Structure 1
Protein backbone atom coordinates (compact mmCIF):
# COMPACT_ATOMS: atom_id res chain seq x y z
CA UNK A 1 0.00 0.00 0.00
CA UNK A 2 1.13 3.56 -0.63
CA UNK A 3 1.34 6.12 2.18
CA UNK A 4 -1.66 7.88 0.63
CA UNK A 5 -3.74 4.69 0.68
CA UNK A 6 -2.87 4.10 4.32
CA UNK A 7 -3.71 7.70 5.15
CA UNK A 8 -7.15 7.30 3.59
CA UNK A 9 -7.88 4.35 5.87
CA UNK A 10 -7.81 6.69 8.86
CA UNK A 11 -9.15 9.89 7.32
CA UNK A 12 -12.63 10.95 8.38
CA UNK A 13 -15.24 12.60 6.21
CA UNK A 14 -14.29 16.03 7.59
CA UNK A 15 -10.72 15.50 6.37
CA UNK A 16 -9.19 14.93 9.81
CA UNK A 17 -6.82 12.04 10.51
CA UNK A 18 -7.70 9.85 13.48
CA UNK A 19 -6.13 6.57 14.58
CA UNK A 20 -6.76 4.77 17.85
CA UNK A 21 -6.05 1.25 19.07
CA UNK A 22 -7.13 -0.53 22.22
CA UNK A 23 -5.57 0.75 25.41
CA UNK A 24 -6.61 -2.25 27.52
CA UNK A 25 -7.19 -6.00 27.09
CA UNK A 26 -10.21 -6.83 24.94
CA UNK A 27 -13.08 -8.69 26.63
CA UNK A 28 -15.80 -9.62 24.10
CA UNK A 29 -19.40 -10.59 24.78
CA UNK A 30 -22.09 -11.47 22.24
CA UNK A 31 -25.86 -11.03 22.55
CA UNK A 32 -28.67 -12.40 20.41
CA UNK A 33 -27.06 -15.48 18.84
CA UNK A 34 -26.87 -19.23 19.37
CA UNK A 35 -23.87 -20.73 21.13
CA UNK A 36 -22.28 -21.86 17.87
CA UNK A 37 -22.32 -18.34 16.43
CA UNK A 38 -21.06 -16.96 19.71
CA UNK A 39 -18.00 -19.20 19.41
CA UNK A 40 -17.45 -18.04 15.83
CA UNK A 41 -17.57 -14.35 16.81
CA UNK A 42 -15.25 -14.77 19.78
CA UNK A 43 -12.90 -16.87 17.65
CA UNK A 44 -12.73 -14.11 15.03
CA UNK A 45 -11.97 -11.49 17.67
CA UNK A 46 -9.24 -13.69 19.13
CA UNK A 47 -7.71 -14.28 15.68
CA UNK A 48 -7.58 -10.57 14.84
CA UNK A 49 -6.30 -9.66 18.31
CA UNK A 50 -3.54 -12.27 17.97
CA UNK A 51 -2.57 -10.83 14.58
CA UNK A 52 -2.43 -7.34 16.07
CA UNK A 53 -0.60 -8.39 19.21
CA UNK A 54 -3.49 -7.00 21.26
CA UNK A 55 -4.24 -8.52 24.63
CA UNK A 56 -7.47 -10.30 25.54
CA UNK A 57 -8.87 -11.09 28.95
CA UNK A 58 -11.84 -12.73 30.66
CA UNK A 59 -12.98 -9.65 32.57
CA UNK A 60 -12.74 -5.87 32.34
CA UNK A 61 -12.57 -4.36 35.81
CA UNK A 62 -14.74 -1.41 34.84
CA UNK A 63 -17.32 -2.77 32.40
CA UNK A 64 -17.08 -6.55 32.80
CA UNK A 65 -16.96 -6.81 29.01
CA UNK A 66 -15.73 -3.99 26.78
CA UNK A 67 -16.41 -5.29 23.26
CA UNK A 68 -20.12 -5.95 22.89
CA UNK A 69 -21.84 -7.44 19.85
CA UNK A 70 -25.61 -7.12 19.57
CA UNK A 71 -27.42 -9.18 16.92
CA UNK A 72 -31.08 -8.33 16.28
CA UNK A 73 -33.80 -8.65 13.66
CA UNK A 74 -35.13 -5.16 14.26
CA UNK A 75 -33.48 -2.02 15.61
CA UNK A 76 -36.29 -1.55 18.15
CA UNK A 77 -35.02 -4.63 19.97
CA UNK A 78 -32.10 -2.55 21.24
CA UNK A 79 -34.48 -0.44 23.30
CA UNK A 80 -35.38 -3.55 25.32
CA UNK A 81 -31.78 -4.44 26.24
CA UNK A 82 -31.36 -3.76 29.98
CA UNK A 83 -29.01 -0.85 30.80
CA UNK A 84 -27.93 -0.37 27.17
CA UNK A 85 -29.12 3.23 27.37
CA UNK A 86 -26.53 3.82 30.08
CA UNK A 87 -23.75 2.63 27.77
CA UNK A 88 -24.99 4.31 24.58
CA UNK A 89 -26.03 7.95 25.09
CA UNK A 90 -29.25 8.97 23.31
CA UNK A 91 -30.04 5.37 22.41
CA UNK A 92 -33.64 6.08 21.38
CA UNK A 93 -32.75 8.82 18.85
CA UNK A 94 -29.95 6.59 17.54
CA UNK A 95 -32.40 3.74 16.93
CA UNK A 96 -34.63 6.20 15.11
CA UNK A 97 -31.78 7.28 12.83
CA UNK A 98 -30.78 3.67 12.11
CA UNK A 99 -34.37 2.82 11.16
CA UNK A 100 -34.72 5.90 8.98
CA UNK A 101 -31.48 5.06 7.16
CA UNK A 102 -32.47 1.38 6.83
CA UNK A 103 -29.03 0.63 8.25
CA UNK A 104 -27.79 -2.92 8.70
CA UNK A 105 -24.85 -2.21 11.03
CA UNK A 106 -23.52 0.41 13.41
CA UNK A 107 -20.40 0.68 15.56
CA UNK A 108 -19.72 2.99 18.49
CA UNK A 109 -16.51 3.52 20.47
CA UNK A 110 -15.68 4.84 23.90
CA UNK A 111 -12.23 6.19 24.70
CA UNK A 112 -10.11 6.47 27.83
CA UNK A 113 -8.43 9.61 29.14
CA UNK A 114 -5.55 9.08 26.69
CA UNK A 115 -8.05 8.70 23.80
CA UNK A 116 -7.20 5.02 23.24
CA UNK A 117 -10.12 2.64 22.71
CA UNK A 118 -11.77 1.75 26.02
CA UNK A 119 -14.88 -0.02 24.70
CA UNK A 120 -16.64 -0.76 21.42
CA UNK A 121 -20.23 -1.64 20.61
CA UNK A 122 -21.27 -3.44 17.43
CA UNK A 123 -24.93 -3.51 16.39
CA UNK A 124 -26.03 -5.77 13.54
CA UNK A 125 -29.52 -6.08 12.06
CA UNK A 126 -29.73 -9.57 10.66
CA UNK A 127 -32.20 -9.16 7.81
CA UNK A 128 -31.88 -9.07 4.03
CA UNK A 129 -28.36 -9.39 2.63
CA UNK A 130 -26.83 -9.24 6.12
CA UNK A 131 -28.65 -12.43 7.11
CA UNK A 132 -27.20 -14.25 4.08
CA UNK A 133 -23.55 -13.57 4.98
CA UNK A 134 -21.81 -16.65 6.44
CA UNK A 135 -21.21 -16.29 10.18
CA UNK A 136 -17.44 -16.68 9.80
CA UNK A 137 -17.25 -13.91 7.18
CA UNK A 138 -19.47 -11.55 9.16
CA UNK A 139 -17.57 -12.16 12.40
CA UNK A 140 -14.15 -11.62 10.83
CA UNK A 141 -15.29 -8.43 9.09
CA UNK A 142 -16.67 -6.96 12.31
CA UNK A 143 -13.63 -7.98 14.36
CA UNK A 144 -11.37 -6.19 11.88
CA UNK A 145 -13.47 -3.04 12.05
CA UNK A 146 -13.19 -2.71 15.84
CA UNK A 147 -9.53 -3.68 16.35
CA UNK A 148 -8.61 -0.07 15.52
CA UNK A 149 -10.67 3.01 14.77
CA UNK A 150 -10.76 3.33 11.00
CA UNK A 151 -11.93 6.27 8.93
CA UNK A 152 -15.64 6.55 8.11
CA UNK A 153 -15.19 5.37 4.53
CA UNK A 154 -12.21 3.03 4.96
CA UNK A 155 -14.03 -0.01 3.56
CA UNK A 156 -16.89 1.67 1.72
CA UNK A 157 -15.62 0.52 -1.68
CA UNK A 158 -13.29 -2.39 -0.88
CA UNK A 159 -13.90 -5.02 1.79
CA UNK A 160 -11.09 -5.72 4.29
CA UNK A 161 -11.61 -9.39 3.41
CA UNK A 162 -10.76 -11.48 0.37
CA UNK A 163 -11.75 -14.92 -0.88
CA UNK A 164 -9.02 -17.41 -1.76
CA UNK A 165 -9.86 -18.71 -5.26
CA UNK A 166 -8.19 -22.06 -4.55
CA UNK A 167 -10.29 -22.97 -1.53
CA UNK A 168 -13.08 -20.42 -1.31
CA UNK A 169 -11.96 -19.54 2.21
CA UNK A 170 -12.45 -15.96 3.41
CA UNK A 171 -9.34 -14.28 4.78
CA UNK A 172 -8.24 -10.86 5.93
CA UNK A 173 -6.53 -9.06 3.05
CA UNK A 174 -2.75 -9.22 3.69
CA UNK A 175 -2.25 -5.46 3.26
CA UNK A 176 -4.95 -4.71 5.86
CA UNK A 177 -3.46 -7.30 8.22
CA UNK A 178 -0.12 -5.55 7.79
CA UNK A 179 -1.56 -2.14 8.64
CA UNK A 180 -3.21 -3.54 11.77
CA UNK A 181 0.00 -5.21 12.93
CA UNK A 182 1.99 -2.04 12.23
CA UNK A 183 -0.54 0.03 14.18
CA UNK A 184 0.02 -2.19 17.23
CA UNK A 185 3.81 -2.04 17.00
CA UNK A 186 5.01 -1.26 20.53
CA UNK A 187 7.01 1.69 19.19
CA UNK A 188 3.92 3.24 17.64
CA UNK A 189 1.54 5.50 19.57
CA UNK A 190 -1.85 4.20 20.68
CA UNK A 191 -3.46 7.36 19.33
CA UNK A 192 -2.55 9.64 16.43
CA UNK A 193 -4.16 12.66 14.80
CA UNK A 194 -1.33 13.73 12.49
CA UNK A 195 -1.10 12.34 8.96
CA UNK A 196 2.61 11.65 9.45
CA UNK A 197 1.41 8.60 11.39
CA UNK A 198 0.47 7.02 8.04
CA UNK A 199 4.08 7.43 6.88
CA UNK A 200 5.29 5.63 10.00
CA UNK A 201 2.85 2.79 9.31
CA UNK A 202 4.11 2.64 5.73
CA UNK A 203 7.72 2.44 6.92
CA UNK A 204 6.89 -0.52 9.14
CA UNK A 205 5.12 -2.27 6.31
CA UNK A 206 8.20 -1.83 4.14
CA UNK A 207 10.38 -3.21 6.91
CA UNK A 208 8.15 -6.27 7.21
CA UNK A 209 8.47 -7.24 3.54
Structure 2
Protein backbone atom coordinates (compact mmCIF):
# COMPACT_ATOMS: atom_id res chain seq x y z
CA UNK A 1 0.00 0.00 0.00
CA UNK A 2 2.86 2.41 0.82
CA UNK A 3 4.95 3.44 -2.17
CA UNK A 4 8.59 2.57 -1.62
CA UNK A 5 9.61 5.59 -3.71
CA UNK A 6 7.51 8.30 -2.08
CA UNK A 7 6.24 6.87 1.20
CA UNK A 8 2.75 7.92 0.09
CA UNK A 9 -0.40 5.91 0.62
CA UNK A 10 -2.31 5.75 -2.66
CA UNK A 11 -6.06 6.38 -2.88
CA UNK A 12 -6.39 3.20 -4.95
CA UNK A 13 -4.81 1.11 -2.20
CA UNK A 14 -7.04 2.65 0.46
CA UNK A 15 -10.12 2.12 -1.70
CA UNK A 16 -9.24 -1.57 -1.98
CA UNK A 17 -9.03 -1.85 1.81
CA UNK A 18 -12.71 -0.97 2.18
CA UNK A 19 -14.34 -2.25 -1.01
CA UNK A 20 -16.43 -5.34 -0.39
CA UNK A 21 -16.12 -8.44 -2.54
CA UNK A 22 -19.80 -8.03 -3.45
CA UNK A 23 -19.08 -4.44 -4.50
CA UNK A 24 -19.50 -1.14 -2.71
CA UNK A 25 -17.23 0.91 -0.50
CA UNK A 26 -17.75 1.04 3.26
CA UNK A 27 -15.43 2.30 6.00
CA UNK A 28 -16.57 2.56 9.59
CA UNK A 29 -14.78 3.13 12.88
CA UNK A 30 -15.99 2.55 16.42
CA UNK A 31 -18.47 5.11 17.64
CA UNK A 32 -18.01 4.27 21.32
CA UNK A 33 -15.24 3.03 23.64
CA UNK A 34 -14.36 -0.62 23.13
CA UNK A 35 -15.35 -2.86 26.05
CA UNK A 36 -13.91 -6.32 25.34
CA UNK A 37 -14.47 -9.75 26.79
CA UNK A 38 -12.36 -12.72 25.70
CA UNK A 39 -13.18 -16.42 26.03
CA UNK A 40 -11.19 -19.62 25.73
CA UNK A 41 -7.62 -18.60 26.64
CA UNK A 42 -5.36 -18.63 29.69
CA UNK A 43 -4.81 -15.51 31.79
CA UNK A 44 -1.31 -15.03 30.38
CA UNK A 45 -2.59 -14.92 26.80
CA UNK A 46 -5.57 -12.84 27.87
CA UNK A 47 -3.17 -10.12 29.03
CA UNK A 48 -1.41 -10.22 25.65
CA UNK A 49 -4.68 -9.81 23.73
CA UNK A 50 -5.91 -6.96 25.91
CA UNK A 51 -2.50 -5.31 25.70
CA UNK A 52 -2.64 -5.40 21.91
CA UNK A 53 -6.12 -3.88 21.90
CA UNK A 54 -4.99 -1.12 24.25
CA UNK A 55 -1.93 -0.38 22.12
CA UNK A 56 -3.90 -0.09 18.86
CA UNK A 57 -6.65 1.97 20.50
CA UNK A 58 -4.06 4.34 21.94
CA UNK A 59 -2.37 4.64 18.55
CA UNK A 60 -5.73 5.47 16.94
CA UNK A 61 -6.66 7.99 19.62
CA UNK A 62 -9.63 5.86 20.62
CA UNK A 63 -10.69 4.63 24.06
CA UNK A 64 -11.33 1.36 25.86
CA UNK A 65 -13.74 0.85 28.73
CA UNK A 66 -14.61 -1.78 31.31
CA UNK A 67 -18.25 -1.86 30.22
CA UNK A 68 -20.55 -0.49 27.54
CA UNK A 69 -23.57 1.27 29.09
CA UNK A 70 -25.99 -0.32 26.61
CA UNK A 71 -24.53 -3.75 25.98
CA UNK A 72 -22.17 -4.50 28.87
CA UNK A 73 -19.50 -5.67 26.45
CA UNK A 74 -19.31 -4.75 22.79
CA UNK A 75 -16.28 -6.75 21.61
CA UNK A 76 -16.52 -10.49 22.17
CA UNK A 77 -13.53 -12.63 21.16
CA UNK A 78 -13.84 -16.43 21.14
CA UNK A 79 -10.92 -18.87 20.94
CA UNK A 80 -12.01 -22.48 20.28
CA UNK A 81 -11.10 -25.72 18.48
CA UNK A 82 -14.22 -26.51 16.47
CA UNK A 83 -16.92 -24.31 14.96
CA UNK A 84 -19.65 -26.52 16.41
CA UNK A 85 -18.59 -25.50 19.93
CA UNK A 86 -20.15 -22.09 19.40
CA UNK A 87 -23.63 -23.58 19.13
CA UNK A 88 -23.42 -24.27 22.86
CA UNK A 89 -22.51 -20.70 23.87
CA UNK A 90 -25.52 -19.27 25.76
CA UNK A 91 -27.36 -16.44 23.97
CA UNK A 92 -24.83 -16.28 21.12
CA UNK A 93 -27.52 -17.26 18.63
CA UNK A 94 -29.60 -14.33 19.84
CA UNK A 95 -26.72 -11.90 19.33
CA UNK A 96 -25.51 -13.27 15.97
CA UNK A 97 -28.33 -13.74 13.50
CA UNK A 98 -28.24 -16.96 11.51
CA UNK A 99 -25.55 -18.48 13.73
CA UNK A 100 -26.11 -22.19 12.89
CA UNK A 101 -26.03 -21.55 9.15
CA UNK A 102 -22.96 -19.33 9.50
CA UNK A 103 -21.10 -21.96 11.51
CA UNK A 104 -21.97 -24.71 9.04
CA UNK A 105 -20.69 -22.58 6.16
CA UNK A 106 -17.45 -21.70 7.94
CA UNK A 107 -16.83 -25.33 8.82
CA UNK A 108 -17.42 -26.38 5.21
CA UNK A 109 -15.01 -23.69 4.01
CA UNK A 110 -12.36 -24.76 6.52
CA UNK A 111 -12.17 -21.20 7.86
CA UNK A 112 -10.12 -20.51 10.96
CA UNK A 113 -11.39 -16.99 11.71
CA UNK A 114 -14.37 -14.76 11.16
CA UNK A 115 -15.61 -11.37 12.34
CA UNK A 116 -19.17 -10.07 12.61
CA UNK A 117 -19.74 -6.33 13.02
CA UNK A 118 -22.84 -4.50 14.22
CA UNK A 119 -23.39 -0.83 13.42
CA UNK A 120 -25.37 2.01 15.00
CA UNK A 121 -27.83 4.33 13.30
CA UNK A 122 -24.98 6.53 12.07
CA UNK A 123 -23.09 3.60 10.56
CA UNK A 124 -20.37 3.53 13.23
CA UNK A 125 -19.28 0.21 14.75
CA UNK A 126 -21.27 -0.56 17.90
CA UNK A 127 -20.25 -4.20 18.43
CA UNK A 128 -17.98 -6.88 17.02
CA UNK A 129 -17.77 -10.66 17.44
CA UNK A 130 -14.43 -12.30 16.66
CA UNK A 131 -14.25 -16.08 16.17
CA UNK A 132 -10.85 -17.80 16.09
CA UNK A 133 -10.70 -21.53 15.46
CA UNK A 134 -7.28 -22.53 16.70
CA UNK A 135 -6.22 -24.92 13.96
CA UNK A 136 -2.58 -25.79 13.29
CA UNK A 137 -2.04 -22.60 11.28
CA UNK A 138 -3.30 -20.20 13.95
CA UNK A 139 -1.73 -22.21 16.78
CA UNK A 140 1.66 -21.75 15.11
CA UNK A 141 1.37 -17.95 15.20
CA UNK A 142 3.06 -16.33 18.24
CA UNK A 143 0.50 -14.96 20.70
CA UNK A 144 1.74 -11.37 20.37
CA UNK A 145 1.47 -11.48 16.57
CA UNK A 146 -1.99 -13.06 16.60
CA UNK A 147 -3.25 -10.58 19.18
CA UNK A 148 -1.94 -7.54 17.31
CA UNK A 149 -3.38 -8.76 14.01
CA UNK A 150 -6.81 -9.24 15.55
CA UNK A 151 -6.65 -5.85 17.25
CA UNK A 152 -6.00 -4.20 13.89
CA UNK A 153 -8.82 -6.08 12.20
CA UNK A 154 -11.49 -5.00 14.70
CA UNK A 155 -10.63 -1.29 14.54
CA UNK A 156 -12.23 -0.63 11.14
CA UNK A 157 -14.64 -2.35 8.76
CA UNK A 158 -11.89 -3.62 6.45
CA UNK A 159 -12.86 -5.47 3.28
CA UNK A 160 -12.71 -9.26 3.26
CA UNK A 161 -9.50 -9.24 1.24
CA UNK A 162 -7.80 -6.24 2.84
CA UNK A 163 -4.93 -8.31 4.26
CA UNK A 164 -5.24 -11.45 2.17
CA UNK A 165 -2.04 -10.94 0.20
CA UNK A 166 -0.11 -8.80 2.67
CA UNK A 167 -0.44 -8.96 6.45
CA UNK A 168 -0.97 -5.77 8.47
CA UNK A 169 2.20 -6.52 10.44
CA UNK A 170 5.89 -6.34 9.61
CA UNK A 171 9.05 -7.46 11.39
CA UNK A 172 11.26 -4.90 13.12
CA UNK A 173 14.29 -6.13 15.02
CA UNK A 174 12.77 -9.59 15.03
CA UNK A 175 9.44 -8.45 16.49
CA UNK A 176 6.05 -8.16 14.81
CA UNK A 177 4.91 -4.54 14.62
CA UNK A 178 2.08 -2.75 12.89
CA UNK A 179 3.02 -1.62 9.38
CA UNK A 180 3.41 2.19 9.33
CA UNK A 181 1.03 2.61 6.39
CA UNK A 182 -1.70 0.57 8.06
CA UNK A 183 -1.22 2.52 11.29
CA UNK A 184 -1.46 5.77 9.31
CA UNK A 185 -4.76 4.69 7.71
CA UNK A 186 -6.22 3.77 11.11
CA UNK A 187 -5.17 7.09 12.65
CA UNK A 188 -6.60 8.94 9.65
CA UNK A 189 -9.92 7.12 9.97
CA UNK A 190 -10.14 8.09 13.65
CA UNK A 191 -9.37 11.76 12.96
CA UNK A 192 -12.31 13.66 14.52
CA UNK A 193 -12.83 15.62 11.29
CA UNK A 194 -13.52 12.39 9.40
CA UNK A 195 -16.98 10.81 9.43
CA UNK A 196 -17.55 7.78 11.65
CA UNK A 197 -18.77 5.89 8.57
CA UNK A 198 -18.70 6.48 4.83
CA UNK A 199 -19.90 4.60 1.76
CA UNK A 200 -18.64 7.04 -0.88
CA UNK A 201 -15.28 6.05 -2.43
CA UNK A 202 -14.21 9.69 -2.30
CA UNK A 203 -13.72 9.04 1.41
CA UNK A 204 -10.63 7.01 0.44
CA UNK A 205 -9.07 10.14 -1.10
CA UNK A 206 -9.32 11.93 2.23
CA UNK A 207 -7.98 8.92 4.14
CA UNK A 208 -5.04 8.56 1.75
CA UNK A 209 -4.17 12.25 2.00
CA UNK A 210 -4.15 12.18 5.80
CA UNK A 211 -2.27 8.88 5.96
CA UNK A 212 0.37 10.17 3.53
CA UNK A 213 0.78 13.36 5.55
CA UNK A 214 1.31 11.29 8.69
CA UNK A 215 4.00 9.20 6.96
CA UNK A 216 5.83 11.97 5.13
CA UNK A 217 5.12 15.04 7.21
**Alignment TM-score > 0.5, same fold:** yes
Tell me which residue corresponds to 2:59.
51
Between the two proteins, the alignment pairs up a number of residues equal to: 207
Structure 2 distance, partners of 1:127, 1:24, is: 32
| Residues 33-83 of structure 1: CA deviation (Å, up to 9, x unaligned) | 000111111111111111111111111112111011000011111011111
Matched, 1:130 2:138: yes
Determine the structure 2 residue equivalent to 1:116.
124
Asked whether 1:107 is paired with 2:122, we answer no
1:67-82 counterparts in 2 under 5 A? 67-82=75-90
- Once residues 18 and 106 of structure 1 are traced to their aligned partners in structure 2, the CA distance between those partners, rounded to angstroms, is 18
- Corresponding residue of 1:9: 17
Partner of 1:170: 176
SS class of match (1:107): strand
Q: Distance in 2 between matches of 1:171 and 1:206?
A: 19
Deviations 1:104-160 (A, max 9, x none): 000000011111000001000001111111111001001100101011111110000
Gap runs ≥5 in structure 2: 1-8
Question: Could you state the TM-score of these two structures normalised by the residue count of structure 1?
Answer: 0.97
Q: What is the TM-score when the length of structure 2 is the normalising length?
A: 0.93
